[in-house]
């Protein structure tokens, strides 16, 4: 028996019961597609962080709780910390110190949510966000009070234009004086305010969320962060710390998403095993005939495994195509919501999906292949 005969027989075996084969394949397609879509969310968010880190955030951020605690609901750091850092500026090569308040403007409707970011108007938004560009109106400037510069997506989602009034809460409102040019990133969902304005709105005078530190030599960020943390007894973290924290968090969520997908993959694998096992039972006489004309037990075993692998490979490719459609739908939603793609199909994700599909087929076909190869010729030909 030649290798070409193996593939021909495998194809015939799968097409003999087309409806059953189709339903089994669809099960694998859905399982692989769900895994691809779930894991693509982590890949997309990694890409967003990597692409935007250079233009977002300070060299060092000093706060009370650090990245691990998320955005504090209320500013909890004394503003006097700014003066403490300024005293260390000559020694540590600090170029600029910027007090910051960051808080979430929440809503039951995700499209109405935004990140409020307050900083001194006289320093301007570019003190922390170097890549910010204005689309309409102007940026913050010295002397500004009760005004806001908003990201392009926030303007669209909140239906705001130049001159519109934005209510921060029941007591406070600001006038929109600028709308940022759309960047396709996280900045598009920000709302920038003068520090004093947001402090007054939150009744948080003399308190801030963090301090953004700009260095003359960013390569010294780790050493400066360690010195600030030790001297001030506060959390001081770098951009690299943020990426490391984000990567660890994404790995945890990847494991959770893969665990959820694994349930569907196991169900798909059982469906493959059931289909192949039923095929073995129905084709006992065929296997006996193959043995009678000279096929060795190893050929029969390879034939059954080939059918299982072929079924899983087709399902894996179909799952990738369906997953790609799902990723497109996710990105359409997140683009409309926040202006960036939250999901991405990367090369390593494609390879993982195909590897999982083939591994699924191999494991599902082992038992049926073993059973088929151990059939004796007399027993196989004797069955009706």
Whether the CB-CB separation of 353 and 32 falls below 8 Å is answered with yes
Q: Check pLDDT > 90 for residue 79.
A: yes
Among 5-14, 200-209, 321-330, the least confident range: 5-14
Which is more confidently placed, 157 or 193? 193
40 plus 86 within the same structural domain: no
| pLDDT for the residue 384 | 46
> For residue 57, is it within any domain?
no
Backbone angles phi, psi at 138, to 5 degrees: -145, 170
What angle is formed at CA 264 by the lines to CA 262 and CA 270, rounded to 5 degrees? 100
Residue 324 tokens, joined: 């790609």
Name 119's bridge partners: 194
pLDDT for position 110 = 64
How many structural domains does the chain have?
A: 2
Domain boundary (203, 233, 263) is at 233
Are 105 and 219 part of one and the same domain?
yes
Q: Please check whether residues 215 and 326 belong to one and the same domain.
A: no
Is residue 337, in this structure, part of any structural domain at all? yes
> 218 and 70 in one domain?
yes
Cα 108-110-116 angle, rounded to 5 deg: 100
Does pLDDT of 85 surpass 90?
Answer: yes
Does 46 lie in the same domain as 69? no
Domain residues for the domain of 106 are: 65-233
**Range with top average pLDDT, 14-23, 91-100, 152-161:** 91-100
Is the residue at 317 inside a domain? yes
> pLDDT: is 363 or 372 the higher one?
363
Check if the beta carbon of residue 214 is closer than 8 Å to that of residue 175: no
The answer to whether residues 204 and 75 touch, using CB atoms and an 8 Å cutoff, is yes
pLDDT of amino acid 361:
84
Phi, psi for 114 (deg, rounded to 5) = -160, 165
Q: Is residue 226 part of a domain?
A: yes
Q: Among 208, 206, 191, which Cα is nearest to 72's? A: 208
Least confident piece of the model among 81-90, 192-201, 278-287: 278-287
Question: Same structural domain for residues 217 and 83?
Answer: yes
CA distance 356 to 350: 10
Q: What radius of gyration do the chain's Cα atoms show? A: 30
Same domain for 210 and 82? yes
Q: Which of 204, 233, 262 is the last residue of a domain?
A: 233
Same domain, 250 and 208: no
Mean pLDDT over residues 139-165, rounded? 91
Query: Given pLDDT bands bounded at 50, 70 and 90, which one contains residue 348?
Result: confident
Average pLDDT, integer, range 150-172: 89
Q: Give the residue-averaged pLDDT of 170-187.
A: 86
Tens of pLDDT, residue by residue over 98-127, are 999 988 876 666 666 778 999 999 998 888
**Residue 114 domain-assigned (yes or no):** yes
User: The pTM is what?
Assistant: 0.66
Q: In terms of domains, do 69 and 101 share one?
A: yes
Q: Considering 176, 203, 233, which residue would you say is the last residue of a domain?
A: 233
Give start and end residues of each alpha helix (H) in the chain: 3-15, 18-52, 80-92, 152-157, 195-201, 221-232, 239-282, 284-292, 297-338, 347-373, 377-382
Is 343 found in the same domain as 250? yes
Q: Are residues 120 and 20 in the same domain?
A: no
**Is residue 239 domain-resident?**
no
Is 74 in the same domain as 211? Answer: yes
Is the residue at 59 inside a domain? no
Asked whether residue 238 is domain-assigned, the answer is: no
């Amino acid at each position: 028996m030649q290798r070409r005969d193996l593939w021909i027989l495998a194809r015939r075996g799968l097409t003999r019961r087309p409806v059953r084969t189709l339903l089994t394949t669809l099960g694998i397609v859905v399982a692989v597609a769900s895994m691809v879509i779930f894991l693509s969310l982590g890949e997309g968010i990694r890409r967003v962080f990597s692409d935007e880190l250079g233009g977002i955030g300070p060299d060092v951020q000093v706060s009370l709780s650090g990245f691990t605690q998320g955005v504090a609901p209320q500013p909890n750091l004394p503003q006097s910390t700014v003066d403490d850092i300024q005293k260390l500026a000559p020694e540590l090569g600090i170029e600029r110190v910027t007090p910051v308040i960051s808080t979430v403007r929440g809503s039951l409707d995700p499209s109405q949510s935004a990140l409020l970011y307050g900083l001194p108007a006289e320093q301007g938004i570019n003190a922390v966000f170097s890549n910010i560009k204005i689309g309409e109106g102007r940026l913050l400037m010295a002397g500004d009070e009760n005004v806001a510069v908003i990201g392009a997506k926030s303007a669209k989602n909140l239906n705001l234009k130049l001159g519109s009034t934005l209510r921060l809460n029941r007591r406070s409102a600001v006038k929109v004086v600028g709308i940022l040019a759309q960047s396709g990133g996280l900045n598009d969902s920000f709302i920038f305010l003068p520090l004093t304005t947001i402090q007054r709105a939150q009744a948080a005078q003399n308190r801030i969320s963090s301090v953004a530190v700009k260095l003359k030599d960013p390569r010294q960020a780790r050493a400066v962060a360690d010195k600030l943390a030790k001297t001030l007894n506060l959390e001081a973290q770098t951009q690299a710390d943020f990426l490391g924290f984000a990567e660890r968090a994404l790995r945890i969520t990847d494991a959770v998403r893969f665990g959820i997908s694994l349930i569907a993959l196991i169900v798909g694998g059982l469906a493959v095993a059931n289909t192949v096992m039923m095929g073995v039972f129905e084709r006992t006489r065929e296997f006996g005939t193959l043995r009678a004309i000279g096929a060795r037990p190893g050929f029969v075993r390879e034939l059954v495994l080939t059918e299982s692998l072929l079924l899983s490979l087709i399902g894996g490719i179909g799952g990738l195509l369906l997953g790609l459609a799902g990723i497109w739908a996710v990105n359409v939603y997140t683009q409309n919501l926040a202006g960036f793609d939250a999901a991405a199909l990367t090369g390593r994700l494609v390879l993982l999906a195909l590897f999982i599909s083939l591994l699924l087929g191999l494991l599902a076909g082992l038992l049926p292949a073993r059973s088929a190869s151990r059939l004796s010729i007399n027993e196989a030909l004797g069955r009706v």
